[in-house]
Amino acid sequence: MKKITQINKIFLRLASGKTITPMQALDWYGCNRLAARICELRDEGTSIDTTLIHKNGKSFAQYGLEV
């Protein structure tokens, strides 16, 4: 049985038309380096948009597939 990796889980979320933030990736998948996983997906040819979100005096990235 093949293990589903963090990068596979992240890709499946993005492929379903949803977005993901670093906090969501940590909570859902135990991934504390989402930007690195996004970089790996981009290196494999996946087109991913990055949106900078400002909330409660903090800034963070939100990733989604390019449409």
CA-CA distances (angstroms) from residue 33 to 18, 19, 30, 39? 19, 16, 9, 10
Domain segments of the chain as ranges:
6-65
Average pLDDT per 10 consecutive residues for the chain, totaling 67 residues: 88 97 96 96 97 95 93
CATH of 6-65, one of 3.40.50.2300, 1.10.287.990, 1.10.10.10, 1.10.357.10: 1.10.10.10
Among the residues of the chain, which ranges form H helices? 6-15, 22-29, 34-43
Please tell me the predicted confidence (pLDDT) of residue 1. 66
Question: What is residue 67's predicted lDDT score, i.e. its pLDDT?
Answer: 76
